[in-house]
Amino acid sequence: MFDSRPYIFYAYMNKKGFIFDLDGVIVDTAKYHFLAWRKLAKSLGITFSEEDNELLKGVSRVSSLEKILAWGEQELSKERFDELLHKKNNDYLGHIAKMTREEILPDVPRVLSYLKSLDQPMALGSASKNARRILTEVDLIHEFQVIVDGSNVSKAKPDPEVFLNAATGLKMNPKDCIVFEDSLAGIEAANSAGMLSVGIGDAKVLKDAKFVFKDFTEISNQFILNELIS
Ligand code: B16
Ligand code: MG
């Protein structure tokens, strides 16, 4: 739609730092993590359900394997642990390699282009060490000015480090940042960073978020302009 507002409107508009989680917000890679973790768990004789997978959302790769081993009451040598982590990631990457733009979650492109049209700073803040690869697969790598992923942080969500680094990269004050997140740990991280948290998913699970939406189809441009930017 033609926007008749003069350029000056954008020049003086508030700027907010918009930080997006990746898995579960931009794309649904949880299903691929599930397949890869289930295969690994099965090889160890550990059962792994979709409910178990829910508990690994936003959790780092190392911590995920630690949790699975604890659930199965198993301990492994450091060498075997690293070997399994590597194996799981290779399986996961096999699924990622087949991803296309079709797998971008509904209305994500609309929200990204709207924010871009308003010249709002945008960053990615993900626990995944595969974030750049996934963004490249779905052709969104150029949409973000700053990308902070699992390779750039020392402390995993719920620690706020990932989002604070994203704010620093965007040169924005954390209190002027807005985080879109699908995991409980991520909402906790955003809140303790002093940012406004927007949950994407189940309101019962993401109850500590300032706002919760099922997905981006529920987030109108009007809402973004009036509630998030103004
Ligand atoms: P990787 P997010 C997280 O990504 C996933 O939700 C979580 O399930 C995964 O274990 C973690 O990334 C690490 O991923 O094995 O690719 O490094 O939701 O923070 O974007
Ligand atoms: Mg996520």
CATH of the domain at 128: 3.40.50.1000
Is residue 161 a contact partner of residue 138, using CB atoms and an 8 Å limit?
A: no
Domain boundary among 96, 113, 140: 96
Atom of ligand 1 nearest to the CA of 162: 19
Considering only CA atoms, give the Rg of the chain.
Answer: 18
Which residue's CA is minimally distant from atom 14 of ligand 1?
A: 128
Residue 193 sits in the same domain as residue 132: yes
In the annotation, is 23 catalytic? yes
**83-87, 161-165, 182-186: range with lowest mean pLDDT:** 182-186
Domain boundary among 96, 120, 143: 96
Q: How far, in Å, is the centroid of ligand 2 from the Cα of 181?
A: 6
Encoding tokens for residue 105?
């979650």
Phi, psi of 11 (to 5 degrees): -60, -35
pLDDT tens per residue, range 40-66: 999 999 999 999 998 999 899 999 999
Residue 210 sits in the same domain as residue 114: yes
Question: What is residue 137's predicted lDDT score, i.e. its pLDDT?
Answer: 95
Is residue 149 a contact partner of residue 132, using CB atoms and an 8 Å limit?
A: yes
Residue 113 sits in the same domain as residue 184: yes
Q: Which of 23, 62, 90, 96 has most ligand 1 atoms within 8 Å of CB, for mutation?
A: 23
Structural domain including 120 reads: 5-28+102-229
In the annotation, is 82 catalytic? no
Model pTM? 0.92
DSSP element (H, E) containing 7: helix 7-11
Residue 147 sits in the same domain as residue 219: yes
pLDDT tens per residue, range 8-43: 556 678 999 999 999 999 999 999 999 999 999 999
Q: How far, in Å, is the centroid of ligand 2 from the Cα of 135?
A: 14
Q: Around Cβ 3, how many Cβ atoms within 10 Å?
A: 9
